[in-house]
Amino acid sequence: MSILQIPYREGRDGFWGEQTSTLNWCEEDYNITYYCAELVNTLTNSMFMWLGVKGLRNVLEFKHSPIFILAYVGYLVVGLGSMAFHATLKYEMQLADELPMIYTVFIMCYATFSYKRSPRTQLLIASIMVGLGLFITVYYLYAKNPVFHQVAFALITATTIFRGFYVMEYQLRPQLRERNPTACSRIMREMWTLALVSIVTFVGGFFIWNMDNIFCRHLTTAKNQLQLPWSIVLEGHGWWHILTGLGAYEMILWRIWLVRCLGGEEEKFMLDWRPWRSIPQVVPRTHKGATKSS
């Protein structure tokens, strides 16, 4: 067993020098390598890279709405910014992680509220969201209060999600009952399942992140006893990256599927997904890579 237990570095000095970020996490700084402040927290952002590229490729291949190109580009930027933040613990890189989170969720908020609106209304909605984004950015740069950022992100996300729920029940369901009554119950059940699974996944990551903060001292003791590589499973903030990366990806897919169905294309496209067992995608029904038919 001792062969499979690799001790942490004794030194805590690192390539990037002193921490300047306003936040630090339970993973001890430079405890694995001299060149990366938080190696596990950095590498777990690979989830964003993988799913971001997958989502972007699917949007281009299946010609989904161009707004989702921006959504997945923002999703990728969040992952890259988080990698840079955890690798360096520099304030500038912290902003590169946190501010794109706000901008990306605003993109999804715009996609939700501007759908089928007139060009003038779409411009008004875009202007409001750009203004709110600028206000959040300027105030956060002034206050440097992470709680403000977290609350702002949560409120925008919740607003987007509840608007999506409203559209599903009060716009999509009546349309499906009228034009496709035999498939209405199945499509709505699929859509609600995808939405709720994405929320549970996201909230699960948030819960683990908070437990990591609350019980950090005990977890650090346990990690030093387990040693590498087994101790990696106790890095709660890393699990936050994995679960929120998956949850956010599923939220974007939920919106893509909702837009396709609102456009009357539920017979041309399908939600290719087995809950908890596969990564969802919205594909043409003739797509050879589909894992199930619905």
The annotated binding site is made up of 25, 27, 38, 86, 237, 241
Give residue 138's Cα distance to chain centre. Answer: 23
Task: Give the residue from 266, 292, 268, 265 showing the smallest Cα distance to 280.
Answer: 292
- Please give the Cα distance from 230 to 217 (Å, whole number): 18
Q: Which residues are annotated as a binding site for Zn(2+)?
A: 86, 237, 241
What 8-state DSSP symbol labels residue 264? T
Q: Which residues sit opposite 228 in a β-bridge?
A: 6
120-153 per-residue burial string, b: 16 or more CB within 10 A, e: under 16: eeeeebeeebeeebeebbeebeeeeeeeebeebb
Q: What length is written for the chain? A: 294
- Please give the Cα distance from 222 to 236 (Å, whole number): 13
Q: Which residues are annotated as a binding site for Ca(2+)?
A: 25, 27, 38
Q: Where are the beta strands (DSSP E) in the chain?
A: 269-272, 281-284
DSSP string across 221-257: HHHHHH-BTGGGGG-HHHHHHHHHHHHHHHHHHHHHH
Phi/psi for 272 (5° steps) reads -90, 100
